[in-house]
Structure 1
Amino acid sequence: MSTAALITLVRSGGNQVRRRVLLSSRLLQDDWLVTPTCHSSTSEPRSSRFDPDGSGRPATWDSFGIWDNRIDEPILLPPSIKYGKPIPKISLEKVGCASQIGKRKENEDRFGFAQLTEEVLYFAVYDGHGGPAAADFCHTHMEKCIMDLLPKEKNLESLLTMAFLEIDKAFSRHAHLSADATLLTSGTTATVALLRDGIELVVASVGDSRAILCRKGKSMKLTIDHTPERKDEKTRIKKSGGFVAWNSLGQPHVNGRLAMTRSIGDLDLKTSGVIAEPETKRIKLHHADDSFLVLTTDGINFMVNSQEICDFVNQCHDPTEAAHAVTEQAIQYGTEDNSTAVVVPFGAWGKYKNSEINFSFSRSFASSGRWA
């Protein structure tokens, strides 16, 4: 797409009414003349960037992902020129978040989101265990650590790996200098997403908190849980001198204590193979198809599967309502754990709705054995 065409789209994008008006001209590729669209013309239809199928029907804003008028954001001009397609600005004001304590004595979940630079946005959830110390440490220091690394490392996957390892080392130093011995057994999951130029999404994760992208109404998991049930993770634990034991409910734990094989903190299990190195995922967003990103902790994930989360969110008017709906539904299904959700809307927000959602409240009884 030419720069001139993109600028024309940007100038026309500020008004919701004008977004619904059909683009009234086609750009001819060989002679660069603008010809009015005429459905009664006897000439053979010609294809262009604004009429890709040669049907004579110019493209609408739906073709570019600005589908739903509840997302009223301007177009980012420099990234749009760079990638050759209109890219909407993702506003932090429209990000939804909710956190429920459940039936625990305290809420050890933490979450955050921020604009790190003009190009990079940050979203994160942390699910603490053994006390909130490790989750608090990540919540306080991860954002600054990433900001310090951004000028030095352009590859966001490498950057996040470096940040996770740096934070783990820093927490170790903090714990060993502290008079509080409980910090040695405090740990946390960490699922962090960086969005650059509104289109490059990179996720890094340790533990069992999750990142899910909703594309064309279907869930796309961007993270894989780090549990002793994974053969590769179990092998590493055993090679490091650790062991996997199952509790009375049939759940595997590292050294009989930890339900995950990767985390930040858990310093007493570092010699048993529990590492802070994240697995990462890079994906290019398609704002015509991608509705939202949702980050969740395992208080939700254990009760609600990824597609159900997408379906719940798609029924909601705005991301704040959606985040509360997801956490409330986990409570309805019987979770007693802390439950946290962060919902980030993209260009196709509101486009893919499923009117046939079945809410199985009987699941709370079937699942209650986890908490016995």
Structure 2
Amino acid sequence: MGLYLSSPKTDKFSEDGENDRVRYGLSSMQGWRASMEDAVSDHLAPSCAFVSCICHAAIPDLDSCTSFFGVYDGHGGKVVAKFCAKYLHTQVVKNEVYAKGELCESLQRAFFRMDEMMRGQRGWRELAILGDKFNRFTGYLEGFIWSSPKHTEGKDEKQEDNWAFEPGPHADFSGPSSGSTACVALIRDSKLIVANAGDSRCVLARKGQAIEMSQDHKPELENERERILRAGGFIHAGRVNGSLNLARAIGDMEFKQNKFLSADKQIVTADPDINNVDLCEDDEFIVLACDGVWDVMTSQQVVDFVRENINNEAKLSTVCEKLLSKCLAPSTTLGEGCDNMTIIIVQFRKKSQIEGNVST
């Protein structure tokens, strides 16, 4: 099977949810691609649920005053995107600085933590399970002879969060060669915090204007290029070492092997750009989406499209579906509009609306 299908898969996986602060809708579509490598983050704890190749997880109630939304776009395979969708939000909350209200620091640590967790015996085993190489009838990984501890449900939290290296034939596993972008948004009270590594994107709609909350990490950007060259890498045809068209990502461990450099200074780094803004009454919604959407429409065009449709549809997921259909290319000739596409729309509930609901 080649890169593209003979006809696109236009079936969409969609979902809606809400609380007293936000309402959201999301949708994913495989499109022309021969495989689906995007994953959407939503509340799946304690286990991750998969529909076809899509892991979805949006968490309007990460805690009593915080919401979490994220988009993970895999490359070289879907497994790292699945891993991030399953674990990244849990590591944000579990970090000790989260309880102190240091949300930016907690987000940054969670991004780096993904790479740490995917190394070693347990990381190898978890990636194999998420990659569907786990025999659920025998309880062992396919081709896995060493007698490992059984994979069981209901482990206590301390044991479940212990990712120390385990003995075994894959204890020296350096991590996956595939990778994933990660673009996540935390909403707490009137604060929006966005952390991004890669070319997925978050845009805030403020009084009809698109405000970029993230930057696409392409190798030709000056600061990215400098880091790549200093770490011993090179850029050819717009790609890191001639292969990866991203300068930041989770996974892609072949680009993170310099033991003399910290994690943020590797050829490719998981270090996220973090932006935050105080929300006001003029703020309407945010859109998080993978590059398959942004390759076709500008940030302002997406905001305009959502604003034109948001009041005409009962479900935000319907707006997402309409936007994905609009982005889908009629053929694979041009390339744009042929990628996997995932989008989340998060609409802010106005204080006046909340107070009105309470009074009624």
For the aligned pair, the TM-score class normalised by the smaller chain equals 0.5 to 0.7
Change (3 A) 1:151 1:227: closer
Q: Which amino acid aligns with 1:194?
A: L
How far apart, CA to CA, are the structure 2 residues paired with 1:151 and 1:284? 19
For 2:276, the equivalent position in structure 1 comes to: 282
Return the index of the structure with the highest Cα Rg.
1
For 2:63, the equivalent position in structure 1 comes to: 117
Change (3 A) 1:275 1:228: same
Q: TM-score, normalised by structure 2?
A: 0.66
The 10-residue stretch of structure 1 (174-183 or 113-122) with the greater mean CA deviation from structure 2: 174-183
For 1:147, the equivalent position in structure 2 comes to: 93
Change (3 A) 1:276 1:153: farther
For 2:185, the equivalent position in structure 1 comes to: 193
- Whether the 8 Å CA contact 2:75–2:178 is kept in 1: the answer is yes
For 1:341, the equivalent position in structure 2 comes to: 343
Displacement after TM superposition at 1:273 (Å): 1.0
- Structure-to-structure mapping, 1:1-372, within 5 angstroms: 89-91=20-22, 94-112=23-41, 113-114=58-59, 115-149=61-95, 151-173=98-120, 174-175=122-123, 184-197=176-189, 199-246=190-237, 252-271=238-257, 273-286=267-280, 288-316=281-309, 317-318=312-313, 319-332=316-329, 334-347=336-349
List, as ranges, runs of 4+ consecutive aligned residues in structure 1 with deviation greater than 4 Å: 174-183
Change (3 A) 1:182 1:302: farther
* Larger strand proportion of the pair: 2
Q: Which amino acid aligns with 1:110?
A: A
How far apart, CA to CA, are the structure 2 residues paired with 1:182 and 1:330? 37
Tell me, what secondary structure is at the counterpart of 2:195? strand
In structure 1, list runs of 5 or more residues that go unmatched: 1-72, 75-88, 247-251, 350-372
Q: Which amino acid aligns with 1:274?
A: V
- Whether the 8 Å CA contact 2:98–2:106 is kept in 1: the answer is no
Displacement after TM superposition at 1:143 (Å): 1.8
How far apart, CA to CA, are the structure 1 residues paired with 2:329 and 2:305? 13
Displacement after TM superposition at 1:97 (Å): 0.4
How far apart, CA to CA, are the structure 2 residues paired with 1:172 and 1:303? 36
Displacement after TM superposition at 1:95 (Å): 0.6
How far apart, CA to CA, are the structure 2 residues paired with 1:277 and 1:302? 23
- Cα deviation per residue 1:19-44 (whole Å; 9 max; x = unaligned)? xxxxxxxxxxxxxxxxxxxxxxxxxx
How far apart, CA to CA, are the structure 2 residues paired with 1:138 and 1:238? 28
Tell me, what secondary structure is at the counterpart of 1:102? strand
- How many residues align? The count is 254
Report sequence identity in percent. 33
- Whether the 8 Å CA contact 2:92–2:98 is kept in 1: the answer is no
Tell me, what secondary structure is at the counterpart of 1:184? coil
Q: Which amino acid aligns with 1:143?
A: H
How far apart, CA to CA, are the structure 2 residues paired with 1:168 and 1:227? 20
Displacement after TM superposition at 1:154 (Å): 1.2
For 1:10, the equivalent position in structure 2 comes to: none
Displacement after TM superposition at 1:315 (Å): 1.2
Displacement after TM superposition at 1:171 (Å): 1.6
Tell me, what secondary structure is at the counterpart of 1:341? strand
Tell me, what secondary structure is at the counterpart of 2:271? coil
How far apart, CA to CA, are the structure 2 residues paired with 1:337 and 1:277? 25
How far apart, CA to CA, are the structure 1 residues paired with 2:98 and 2:347? 27
Q: TM-score, normalised by structure 1?
A: 0.64
Displacement after TM superposition at 1:90 (Å): 2.0
- Whether the 8 Å CA contact 2:283–2:348 is kept in 1: the answer is yes
